[in-house]
Structure 1
Amino acid sequence: MDPEPEPRPPLTALVGVALVSAAAIATQIALTRIYAITLWHHFAYLVVGLALLGFGVAGAWLASRGGAVLPDEGEPTAVLARRARYAAVASLLALLLSMVIRPNALMLLRDAGVAFSLAAMVVLSTVPFVGAGAVIGTALAVWPARAGRVYAADLVGGGLGALVVAFGIGTLGAIGIVGGCALAFALAGVLFDGGRRWRPGAVTFLGLSLVVLLALADEDDWILPAPTKELSLVHRPQLGIDAVEHRAWTPHGRIDVLGEVVGPPLVAGEVGHFEPRWRVRIVTQDGAAPTTMHGVDADPRELTFLPRSTTAVAWVVRGVPFATPESDEGARVLVIGVGGGVDVMLALAHGAARVDGVEINPAILELTTSRYADFVGHFADS
């Protein structure tokens, strides 16, 4: 007698696998953005290893069970649903807990406590990937003859998860992405059950939704820049000092715009006492790499400190005086990394005929072309 053909995975289960895969990829990307702020950029690459570690741990756990991937009495979809719910709760709680551990990573070789704290962050940050690996690995083991379908759902979900982060992080922020991924795990649990036992999944989903909403109330409760970053010197929300007036997320990172101050120019190489004082807004990227926007009424030539900056060396070498009127014979300038616009203003103030600016971060570009266009004198319209 021919063996009975293996049942196909239901469509709801394949959608559940896709959701879990999307959540895993989106969590991984969100963690790179969070680590870049809280630990410094080079630690963001650690997340790639954490994902591999988590999947490996899950695979080792499933392999250690031999043929007993499922409990003896377990129905495949019910077991998948339960493991997805566990992954939802564990991943959200573990990641939120990891964010309240705030080691000074640059003291790693000087303070044993920092090493312990980083190790704790690593363990906690691995939890979502252990959960995702357990669910997807279980699905592959349950339907081995249909592994191609399961794997296809895994790949499609991963691609969609990356797209969600690319287009959604500007609205949700990294915390919102992390919370949304936990909800995706929980929703996958509901789909695995196929609506037959919806109460546990619904309760998990609603409970996590409440936690996510509370976590989204104030991002500064969870994501603070490393203590050695420039932003942490002036922005201390835990002490009631809120210096940030605008914040934006992109896949490239988070920008923070500090409130306007009046003081010396902040470009590069300026020394001594300057009169008059200038209106300045500082912009940080992931809490560091500050760039500045300088306020003008209409014309970059108002910034009389520009020719005394080291950034003006190219114009000194060319022999072009400051405040040269714009003309068709002026230089054609390419500025790579527009930032706060000082280099663009410098070119315009030296009579450049054309200035092309390149900026990879759309949130930075939006500052000088829209939100703070009045502050910088609409130089982007020149």
Structure 2
Amino acid sequence: MTVAPRVRLVLASALMLFVELALIRWTASNNLYLTHLTNFVLLASFLGIGLGFLRGTRGRDLFALAPVLLGALVAFVLAFPVRTGTTTGGRWQLVGSLGMGPLPRPVSLAVIFLLTVAALGFVAQEVARTFSTFPPLEAYRLDIGGSLLGIVTFAGLSFLRMPPLAWALVSAAVFVLLLGTRVRSWRWLPAAGIALTVVVLGLESFVGPYQWSPYYKIRTGSAAGGNVRVEVNNTPLQTSMSVEQARTNSPFYFFPYTYAGSRDDVLVIGAGTGNDVAVALSQGAKHVDAVEIDPALVQIGRDRHPDRPYDDPRVTLHVDDGRAFMERATRRYDLVLFALPDSATIVTGQSALRLENYLFTTQALDRARSLLDTGGTFAMYNYYEPWLLDRYANTIRTVYGTAPCVQLGPTQGQRQQAVLTLRDDASTGGCTTTWTPRVGELEPSVDDRPFPYLGSRTIPPFYLVMLGLVLLTSLVLVRWVGGPLRQMRPYTDLFFMGVAFLLLETKNVVQFALLFGTTWAVNAAVFTGVLLSVLAAIEVARRVTIRKPLWLYAGLLAALALAWVVPGDLLLDLSPVPRFAVGVTIAFLPIFLANLLFAVRFKDSASSTTAFGANLLGAMVGGALEYLALILGFNALLVVVALCYGLALLTGRRHLLPARA
């Protein structure tokens, strides 16, 4: 079967982005080394795609090996998982298959990195070969159209909560269609790779009590007393239990009510399977707003919680991000409760932003305080390491001006149960065990730098080592696969544009997470919006002759300055409709101008695949520089973006001569 070139490019581009998104999501669900390094696979993907474009039409066509490498990657990750286990003393530790020790972290990450680079590189070579047969802008246009198809398909499968088998079948169908009858010898090899991927992911999808939410790989199991134990991404999350069992086994659920006044109206953030909601009802709540971001956890609570709290008419359930719900809320509450909000996963496409990070900033706690009725109580509880308890207690003190009440429970390894409470008027409600620092008065998190789990303004040494090795490996592979680096010298400006664009995209992801929530739907909408902005820029570049491209740099700088002076938390004061309008304008105007600048430059490139490869490799470096936000905050990334576009201007100024009619 022959596939038309335009259709081939769209399908190959869709496959490339679909596989990238699936790998980012799936590998982190099976390997805890990747839980806080989701952009590790993103960096590997960008490197592989860049190498595929640099190789382009040169040398042997290796697309048929892509399903083989993908099958090997899937088999490796499932054969050598990294999950949480317990020692004989009850302490947590990382374990591998059959309770044995996991592979050493450097070995595990190195194999995943190299297999991801190879698999995406071979897919990208197929894209590049077809890409090179079209004029640069037409090829770019079709590539973006395919990327849109890939992200919409993956978002649709996430919405339907489809297991990895569905992802494998979609990829397999596109592989079969694109490979067709091209593979004359060794035809069994790609077929074996496709079959291995489908079989392995099929077994994972249907053997064992697993289900897939838009955020997690969820495993449920039976616990003592008919309770349900829930594990997400190979990590224990919670155990649903009746109120009576909680009173005996987990009394900390009741601590927030010890010094609370009225508890008629309760807001529970992080409702999970319903334990906290059931306790609130048992304590006399007349109305409970239960907020949980994951619909699958809610369904488990509906179906299997012993007390069926979500069936109670006093409960209103909201499947939503906790911070986003608070920003929209108009009701006042007697108790606002942050109930063990620990997501164990990171926002897709972002290196260090977990789903709950925006709940623990000074701005978020200030908003929670504003929702308290007169005499109302704020409470939060979890298992905390001493330094993290100090950070949260100091954050509460920063907002209220008073040290909170601290009620301590049993320890679990290095962590201790703790409940922090304070009244709306900054009183403790009679509690005398107020917080005193044990580690120190750690700097509170803020919306611009929402990293509560980072002890200080630094990039952890492991991240620095990892990024250094990734960049060194990238340099070696680019030289080996792509040939002399001087072939990319004419496209140095496109390289810097790639660095800047990835950072700009990162800033938009976190901006919209703050404005509208860290939900998968918001995340998918942002990436779709970015691609639509790119497509709009391409259409303008195809139809309009821009005689003075230098003015695009001036417009881009002005748009970046606007985004700089209007930080995201300022927009939270707006109502939803104007917040959306202003947020979209501020976020996507620089993206549109940046891509218009890229498109104007790209359409005259002598080698479209080399130029595109240089841009993609720049994006990979941008993914590494993203970690600067851990020190500087996200708004400061705009300065780095401006500097990178400045370097693009300096290195590409010869292309900015006025165009002739």
**How far off is 1:24 after superposition?**
2.0
Gaps of 5+ in 1: 1-9, 63-68, 72-78, 222-241, 263-278, 321-329
Q: State the one-letter code of the partner of 1:372.
A: R
| More displaced 10-residue stretch of structure 1: 205-214 or 360-369 | 205-214
> Are 1:123 and 2:114 an aligned pair?
yes
**How far off is 1:250 after superposition?**
2.1
**How far off is 1:348 after superposition?**
0.6
> Are 1:52 and 2:52 an aligned pair?
no
Q: RMSD over aligned Cα, in angstroms?
A: 3.7
Q: State the one-letter code of the partner of 1:318.
A: A
Q: Match of 1:214, SS?
A: helix
Counterpart position of 1:268: none
Which of 28, 31, 44 is the aligned partner of 1:36?
28
Q: Match of 1:155, SS?
A: helix
Counterpart position of 1:180: 170
Q: Match of 1:317, SS?
A: coil
Asked if the contact 1:101–1:121 (Cα under 8 Å) also holds between the matched residues in 2, the reply is no
Asked if the contact 2:210–2:217 (Cα under 8 Å) also holds between the matched residues in 1, the reply is yes
Q: Distance in 2 between matches of 1:205 and 1:119?
A: 24
Q: Distance in 2 between matches of 1:217 and 1:112?
A: 24
Asked if the contact 1:83–1:189 (Cα under 8 Å) also holds between the matched residues in 2, the reply is no
> Are 1:189 and 2:179 an aligned pair?
yes
> Are 1:150 and 2:144 an aligned pair?
no
Distance 1:135 1:258, change over 3 A: same
Q: State the one-letter code of the partner of 1:365.
A: V
> Are 1:380 and 2:311 an aligned pair?
yes
Task: Report the TM-score, using the length of structure 1 for normalisation.
Answer: 0.65
> Are 1:332 and 2:226 an aligned pair?
no
Q: Match of 1:90, SS?
A: helix
* Within-5 A mapping of 1:93-104: 93-102=72-81
Asked if the contact 1:83–1:134 (Cα under 8 Å) also holds between the matched residues in 2, the reply is yes
**How far off is 1:33 after superposition?**
2.5
Q: State the one-letter code of the partner of 1:377.
A: R
* Within-5 A mapping of 1:1-382: 12-40=4-32, 41-62=35-56, 69=57, 83-102=62-81, 113-143=104-134, 145=135, 147-169=136-158, 172-178=162-168, 180-190=170-180, 210-219=195-204, 246-262=209-225, 279-295=226-242, 300=243, 302-303=244-245, 305=247, 309-319=251-261, 330-369=263-302, 371-372=303-304, 375-382=306-313
Q: Match of 2:132, SS?
A: helix
**How far off is 1:345 after superposition?**
0.8
Asked if the contact 2:222–2:228 (Cα under 8 Å) also holds between the matched residues in 1, the reply is yes
Asked if the contact 1:368–1:380 (Cα under 8 Å) also holds between the matched residues in 2, the reply is no
Q: Distance in 1 between matches of 2:45 and 2:17?
A: 9
Identity across matched positions, percent: 20
Q: Distance in 2 between matches of 1:136 and 1:43?
A: 27
Distance 1:98 1:127, change over 3 A: farther
Asked if the contact 2:16–2:120 (Cα under 8 Å) also holds between the matched residues in 1, the reply is yes
Q: Match of 2:163, SS?
A: helix
Distance 1:50 1:175, change over 3 A: farther
Q: Distance in 2 between matches of 1:308 and 1:15?
A: 58
Residues 61-101 of structure 1 deviation map (CA, whole Å, 9 limit, x = unaligned): 23xxxxxx367xxxxxxx9xx65433334333344345434
Q: Distance in 2 between matches of 1:207 and 1:354?
A: 57
Counterpart position of 1:266: none
Q: Match of 2:284, SS?
A: coil
Gaps of 5+ in 2: 85-92, 95-101, 314-661
**How far off is 1:306 after superposition?**
7.1
Q: Distance in 2 between matches of 1:333 and 1:49?
A: 43
Q: Distance in 2 between matches of 1:304 and 1:215?
A: 39
Q: Match of 2:240, SS?
A: strand
Counterpart position of 1:236: none
Q: Distance in 2 between matches of 1:184 and 1:123?
A: 23
Counterpart position of 2:556: none
Residues 296-316 of structure 1 deviation map (CA, whole Å, 9 limit, x = unaligned): xxxx5x557179722322211
Q: Match of 1:142, SS?
A: coil
Q: Distance in 1 between matches of 2:190 and 2:50?
A: 27
Residues 214-270 of structure 1 deviation map (CA, whole Å, 9 limit, x = unaligned): 32442189xxxxxxxxxxxxxxxxxxxx9x6x32112211111112422xxxxxxxx
Q: Distance in 1 between matches of 2:5 and 2:199?
A: 30
User: Looking at both structures, which has the greater relative contact order when contacts are Cα pairs under 8 Å and sequence separation is at least 6?
Assistant: 1
Asked if the contact 1:50–1:125 (Cα under 8 Å) also holds between the matched residues in 2, the reply is yes
Q: Distance in 2 between matches of 1:204 and 1:19?
A: 21
**How far off is 1:11 after superposition?**
7.4
Residues 317-336 of structure 1 deviation map (CA, whole Å, 9 limit, x = unaligned): 1256xxxxxxxxx5211111
Q: Distance in 2 between matches of 1:376 and 1:176?
A: 34
Distance 1:372 1:200, change over 3 A: farther
Q: Distance in 1 between matches of 2:125 and 2:250?
A: 61
Distance 1:250 1:220, change over 3 A: closer
